[in-house]
A and B are shown apart, each in its own frame.
Chain A
Amino acid sequence: EAGVAQSPRYKIIEKRQSVAFWCNPISGHATLYWYQQILGQGPKLLIQFQNNGVVDDSQLPKDRFSAERLKGVDSTLKIQPAKLEDSAVYLCASRLQGPGQGYTFGSGTRLTVV
């Protein structure tokens, strides 16, 4: 079974620039999540999709972050404009439906904003 694919692995941008991350979940996983993990912290949920609909985006800074999941498969997360405090690893995860299922994470994108 192929894992959760993410790209790019690393990105360095200047503040106020824009950036986009891509995620392809495990086939058949209807639920997709984007997490932000700042160094030394646990992952923090940004947005959750069920198929192509948003289930929870309560912690997404909507003035600068946006995400979409067209056709219920791939997803992109965008930041525009980036701030220094957005420097973090952005993790995509997917999950099978059903009680007690854990997440499978992708390898993440490490973003550095300078």
Chain B
Amino acid sequence: QKEVEQNSGPLSVPEGAIASLNCTYSDRVSQSFFWYRQYSGKSPELIMSIYSNGDKEDGRFTAQLNKASQYVSLLIRDSQPSDSATYLCAVNLGERDDKIIFGKGTRLHILP
């Protein structure tokens, strides 16, 4: 059973600080990794994707990938109250490019 594991939280971070969200996955063959943000009562929204080991930055967001450790993380710099949401880690299934599986998500709460 291929799995994506996340700490469910809630993770509470003061406004302006760095929020660090972590995810591990079980399938060594996975090649594509995604972070989705989901506000309460809304559908998931893709915010970052990463395919190569190392860091990928987009504005205040940085995705980090370590395939050897089967670990992917998301850093949010200068956290804002609007970043309060559930963050879903998603990983493509094996060699199948067209199917991704999701973790249960980490609830992030930014404290004003």
A: which residues have CB within 8 A of B?
31, 40-45, 48, 50, 55-56, 89, 91, 95, 97-108
Main secondary structure of the interface of B (DSSP, over half): loop
Kindly provide the distance from the CB of A1 to the nearest chain B CB, expressed in whole angstroms: 14
Q: What's the count of A-B pairs with C-beta under 8 Å?
A: 54
20 A–B contacts, CB within 8 A, in A order: A41-B104, A42-B88, A42-B103, A43-B102, A45-B99, A45-B101, A48-B99, A55-B98, A56-B99, A89-B43, A97-B98, A99-B97, A100-B49, A100-B51, A102-B49, A102-B100, A103-B44, A103-B100, A105-B45, A107-B43
| B104 and A48 contacting across the interface, CB-CB below 8 Å | no
B25 at the interface (CB under 8 A from A): no
User: Known contacts A40-B104, A100-B32, A102-B34: does B46 contact A48 (CB below 8 Å)?
Assistant: no
